[in-house]
Amino acid sequence: MPAPSRRRITGFSNPTVKFLRSLRDKKHRRREGRFLAEGLRLLTDARESGFAPEILVMAERRDPHPLADALERAVEETGGTIVETTPEILSRITGKDNPQAIAGVFREFDTSLAALDRSRAPIWLVAQALRDPGNLGTMLRTGDAVGAGGLILIDDCADPFGVEAVRASMGAIFTQRIAQAAWDAFLPWLRSGPGQLVAASLRDAVPYRGAPYAAPCFILVGNESRGLPECYEAACDLRVTMPMRGRADSLNAAVAGAVLAYEVLASLDP
């Protein structure tokens, strides 16, 4: 086990500050294979899910706090680095005037389809071209709540490792598996094993209540403005429709996924 290190940083031009700051940018996250999570609650969620940050950054001379102490111990046990710094530098790293007093750097997870074990859970969420990081994080959170195995991101989605998605996931980024794939790779993978692909649709659909859901059930949600491409819907095993009593004919993508996921949960596990 490598020896833990503890450092104090007071200069804005320190390379570690630059590195941490760079993780707010997707390009740099990808290159480094690392992402940033902020706040004591989120870092505690990570720890309780078995993930210690490689680097833990905190305000120097912080007040004693049992959860922050537990984080420090977890980092020490796993040979990570603890960085103490000033509130000004924390602001610089997080890009916020009023930063959380603590942040951590984590290694990005393997997001290949090959790493998914579909037998792990009866429900999986699938999002296509989901552009809003808040929606993405909310879907992770919903997945955690319904006992889903994870979230599969199809085509060009928001980055699940971006600060906003991580925050909106409320810790589910550490409990849900995440995969990223093009549709042309996802569909053969899905068909290589058991799995029912379900989408909310207005075309050739049955009512979503009482529809014949089957595990493992993959719930597919489309892009926020355009919905799903017609040929994606056509590839589904089951198309279901939800009541739309108002003027509009659609729901927020994360909301539609959640309503459907709770229905599937009730159906599979009454």
Q: Could you list the residues that contact a second copy (CB under 8 A)?
A: 45, 48-49, 134, 138, 141-147, 168, 170-172, 175, 209, 242-248, 250-252, 254-255, 258-259, 262, 265-266
Smallest distance from a second copy to CB 113, Å: 22
CA distance 260 to 210: 11
CB of 89 or CB of 264, closer to a second copy: 264
Q: How many CB atoms lie within 10 A of CB 63?
A: 7
**Shortest separation between residue 220's beta carbon and a second copy, angstroms:** 17
Both structure tokens of 197: 């692909």
Q: Which amino acid is at 181?
A: A
Cβ proximity to a second copy, 20 vs 46, nearer residue: 46
Q: Strands across the sheet with 55-59, in order?
A: 5-9, 81-85, 55-59, 102-107, 34-38
Q: Which residues contact 191 (CB under 8 A, 6 or more apart)?
A: none
Neighbours of 174 (CB within 10 A): 21
User: Strand, helix or coil at 156?
Assistant: coil
**Shortest distance, CB of residue 166 to a second copy, whole angstroms?**
14
**Cβ of 227: how many Cβ atoms within 10 Å?**
21
Q: Give strand pairing partners of 152.
A: 126, 179
Q: How many residues does the chain have?
A: 270
Q: Nearest distance from residue 141's CB to a second copy, in Å?
A: 6
Closest approach of a second copy to the CB of residue 91, in Å: 22
Identify which of 255, 152, 146, 254 has the alpha carbon closest to the alpha carbon of residue 197: 152
Return the CA Rg of the chain.
21
For tokens 């909106």, the residue is 168
Q: How many helices (H) and strands (E) does the chain have?
A: 10, 12
Roughly what angle, to the nearest 10 degrees, separates helices 253-268 and 133-146? Answer: 10
Q: How far is the CB of 244 from a second copy (least distance, A)?
A: 5
Q: Which is nearer to a second copy, 81 or 201 (CB)?
A: 201
Nearer CB in complex with a second copy: 154/253? 253
Residue 134 or 195 with smaller CB distance to a second copy: 134
Of 82 and 126, nearer to a second copy (C-beta) is: 126
Q: Measured from the CB atom, is 113 or 170 closer to a second copy?
A: 170
Shortest separation between residue 7's beta carbon and a second copy, angstroms: 31
